[in-house]
Structure 1
Amino acid sequence: MAEEYKIQVKNITKQYELFKTQSEKLRSFFALNRKPIPHFWSLMGVSLTVKPGETLGLIGVNGSGKSTLSNIISGIIPPTTGTVDVKGDTSIIAIGAGLRGNLTGLENIRLKALMQGLTNQEIDNLMDDIVSFADIGDFLYQPVKSYSSGMKSRLGFSIAVHVNPDILIIDEALSVGDDTFYQKCLDKINEFKAEKKTIIFVSHSLKQIELMCDRVAWIHYGTLRQLGDTDEVVSEYRQFTKWFKGLSKKEKKQFQLKMKQDQKDFDIDAFQNELIEEKQKAEPNNPRVASEVKHQLYGSVISEKMSGGNVLLTWAVLLVGLFLAGVNVSGHSVSEVIQHPSSIVKPVKHLDLPGENK
């Protein structure tokens, strides 16, 4: 019997291209860059499941991919490869996540709640509770861009927990704010745990992780280094951080550079071949292993670049548009320009207008 889960990610990777300019980014979208763009793999083949009613902690040093993974699960960003299966509605709490800077706090409450599928009547019924929990006073009527990080966290947390999601994703949202608000957040999270809601909790605070989480995933420079019981994984992570702190400044820098270089050198084709070999060993009589693995990696992924066919179609539409514009300006008919292409640069001296006497 297959294991029951609320969230399942398989072979998730995420590649970021390191553009220097906006024009480079635009050319890359249309596949027009002559030189290859440097890239960086934030995630390199992460697979894990989260059980219904479980609180899973995500730990790891800065830049390891924790927030990238939580954003992929919540649907904010797409993966480069892999599958994400989320059974339920998610609500992510991160400092400023989903808040529009030019809108007031009150307007952001309504916008985010509407995006979560609530009706205006349901939002009106929740409004007093959301405002009271956030407790940001008259700043509620000011643009969010004027808020401190703590106030953004207060507002975002309050909205997220009151729309009653199936899955709550908390990304460092408890790292700012005062003790009073922190306790309110803990109480609300414990309410969710009592209701058997599924929670993903991203934090650098190991004490918070130990207090709240049933299991922990240690994301280590783009890979899943360890997944297991909270006490076991946190203990291993503490040993790693103790080892790292014991290094000299030069050794720390060398270690970090090596890890980052590994993320730049990751070969997605080699990773795919490894998956094919593993599946072939498990299913030696299956002739479709390679195609099945490719489908698992790319079948549900939305490309962030135009395909070759779409690039050709775009150029074809552009050229046809320019041709028709030129014909219109020249004053000749389309058939005449087709028969005599040079006429497109020789506009007629006089256009016959409707109703004009000749």
Structure 2
Amino acid sequence: MEDYKVKVQNVTKEYDLFKTQSEKLRSFFSVSKKSVPHFWSLMGISLTIQPGETLGLIGVNGSGKSTLSNIISGIIPQTTGYVDVRGETSIVAISAGLRNNLTGRENIRLKSLMQGMTNEQIDEVMPDIISFADIGDFVDQPVKSYSSGMRSRLGFAIAVHIKPDILIIDEALSVGDDTFYQKCVDKITEFKEEGKTIIFVSHSLKQIQMLCDKVAWINYGELKMVGDTKEVTAKYREFTKWFKKLSKKEKHEFETKRKSIQKNFSIEKYQKKVAEEMQKNAPDEKNVPAKVHKLFYGSVISEKMSVWNQLLTWGVLLVVIFFCLVNISGYSVGHIISDPSALIHPSHVLHLPGVK
């Protein structure tokens, strides 16, 4: 059995660009496949994270770093691909997992219960979490009244005290003062010494170099490079240096081109490409296209209703409407079946079966 903590293979993520909620609802129930603008946040990401490894995720805004971390943590499903996470994950992000209408203390209990802790265990660790977060009396105030720094403090404090197997940190160290930042770094270092697996998303290359064993550079939905921290960060610096030298017009043209690629990405062409590469590497392998299709969709939970489910939903809806109309008509079901016109000529007298 292959030894790894996290493995993602050919992972993609598509977002439909609906303009209104009603448009989204119509698409959900629609049997026919109408053309809806879409955007591919991830376009075939494959990487493996070893036990005890700290992987840094870098890339410009909108490249898909947070999308990938959310897929690994189970917050959102992938559109295609294989994701295997061996252990419990806990994600720390400025806005992830905290309920606005609950107090800080209530959020601590809720998130801890969701991680499988008992109330007794939560009572035991509660003082440590509150002390680490250091948000004072705000712990008993609704989270919606918190600043971004306070939310980050609380989220980080909860995540590191429920002892996850895999800790995911998404820009959580970008807010807060130096004192709290150092507490976080010390805690991350402690986790590394304990052999925990960490995924660290950050724009700060200084933080990445200080904490990470390996780095993955995601560039506009594609895995540009993965490898040694020093080597990958050096290449990323070259890219950012080149980009900053571009004129405003050139920057706009470059970003427009990259986003166009993400909008026009074809999952069918990508799937065919993967199948061709697999066949080339294993010429005697049979049914490669079918195996690739299973690899792409075998572990995916669809976010859209299948045609059969849509037809079933419409069927159930029509049956419910029929019985509602029968009830309003005042006639029995048998009478309506024998004389459907009675539905549009309701009786003012209730007709019961066997009663004249």
TM-score by length of 2: 0.97
User: Residue 134 of structure 1 aligns with which residue?
Assistant: 133
User: Residue 241 of structure 2 aligns with which residue?
Assistant: 242
What is the correspondence of 1:279-318 to structure 2 with a 5 Å cutoff? Answer: 279-318=278-317
- Cα 1:102–1:345, aligned 2, differ >3 Å: closer, same or farther? same
How far did residue 333 of structure 1 move? 1.4
| 1:106 maps to amino acid | R
What is the correspondence of 1:1-358 to structure 2 with a 5 Å cutoff? Answer: 3-31=2-30, 35-351=34-350
Alignment partners' CA distance in 2, 1:106 and 1:252: 46
Query: SS of 2:223's equivalent?
Result: strand
Alignment partners' CA distance in 2, 1:221 and 1:340: 62
Do the aligned residues in 1 keep the contact of 2:220 with 2:258 (CA within 8 Å)? Answer: yes
Alignment partners' CA distance in 2, 1:327 and 1:317: 15
Do the aligned residues in 1 keep the contact of 2:330 with 2:351 (CA within 8 Å)? Answer: no
| 2:7 maps to amino acid | Q
- 1:240-297 Cα distance to aligned partner (Å, 9 max, x none): 1111111111111111111111111101000010011111112222321111100110
How far did residue 33 of structure 1 move? 7.4
Do the aligned residues in 1 keep the contact of 2:213 with 2:228 (CA within 8 Å)? Answer: yes
Alignment partners' CA distance in 2, 1:352 and 1:60: 71
How far did residue 353 of structure 1 move? 7.5
How far did residue 214 of structure 1 move? 0.3
How far did residue 336 of structure 1 move? 1.4
How far did residue 320 of structure 1 move? 0.8
- Cα 1:217–1:287, aligned 2, differ >3 Å: closer, same or farther? same
How far did residue 35 of structure 1 move? 4.5
Alignment partners' CA distance in 2, 1:123 and 1:279: 49
Query: SS of 1:174's equivalent?
Result: helix
Query: SS of 1:5's equivalent?
Result: coil
Query: SS of 1:13's equivalent?
Result: strand
Do the aligned residues in 1 keep the contact of 2:215 with 2:226 (CA within 8 Å)? Answer: yes
Alignment partners' CA distance in 1, 2:27 and 2:352: 46
Do the aligned residues in 2 keep the contact of 1:27 with 1:33 (CA within 8 Å)? Answer: no
Structure 1 moving runs of 4+ over 4 Å? 32-35
How far did residue 3 of structure 1 move? 4.4
Do the aligned residues in 1 keep the contact of 2:57 with 2:201 (CA within 8 Å)? Answer: yes
How far did residue 348 of structure 1 move? 2.5
| 1:218 maps to amino acid | W
| 1:6 maps to amino acid | K
Do the aligned residues in 2 keep the contact of 1:56 with 1:215 (CA within 8 Å)? Answer: yes
Do the aligned residues in 2 keep the contact of 1:134 with 1:155 (CA within 8 Å)? Answer: yes
Do the aligned residues in 2 keep the contact of 1:58 with 1:201 (CA within 8 Å)? Answer: yes
Query: SS of 1:204's equivalent?
Result: coil
| 1:278 maps to amino acid | E
Corresponding pairs, count = 355
- Cα 1:34–1:53, aligned 2, differ >3 Å: closer, same or farther? closer
How far did residue 352 of structure 1 move? 5.7
Do the aligned residues in 1 keep the contact of 2:332 with 2:351 (CA within 8 Å)? Answer: no
Alignment partners' CA distance in 2, 1:264 and 1:353: 60
| 2:221 maps to amino acid | G
Alignment partners' CA distance in 2, 1:167 and 1:40: 29
| 1:81 maps to amino acid | T
Alignment partners' CA distance in 1, 2:244 and 2:333: 75
Q: Any gaps of 5 or more consecutive residues in structure 1? A: none
Alignment partners' CA distance in 1, 2:150 and 2:188: 19
| 1:226 maps to amino acid | M
Alignment partners' CA distance in 2, 1:347 and 1:30: 31
